[in-house]
Amino acid sequence: MSEVPRKASLLVIFLAVFIDLLGFGMVLPLLPIYAKDFAQQLGLEEGHSRIGLLIGLLMSSFFRCGAGCPTASAGGRS
């Protein structure tokens, strides 16, 4: 493999990782605000045991939406 395609592919990988981390950096600080809002809508008071489950579901939905992106499977060669 020559040097130019190798550097180009590394650039694409680093760019994808950077954008992914940028997304996490924007969502994670807002997660407690979303969790409080959803907990209030569900009628859960602060300290309720289901708030942890709610935060877990919010994070898993964020990860799932990122994995289900049409461009996420575009890199596969299946």
Q: 30-34, 39-43, 66-70 — which is least confidently predicted?
A: 66-70
Structural domains counted in the chain: 1
Residue 43 maps to a domain: yes
Please give the C-alpha separations between residue 70 and each of 7, 21, 30, in angstroms, as whole numbers.
Answer: 25, 18, 25
Say what the pLDDT of residue 78 is. Answer: 46
- Report the mean per-residue pLDDT for the chain: 77
Residue 46 maps to a domain: yes
Asked if the model's pLDDT at residue 27 lies above 70, the reply is yes
Asked if the model's pLDDT at residue 22 lies above 80, the reply is yes
What percentage of the chain has pLDDT greater than the value 90?
0
Q: Quick check: helix, strand or coil at residue 78?
A: coil
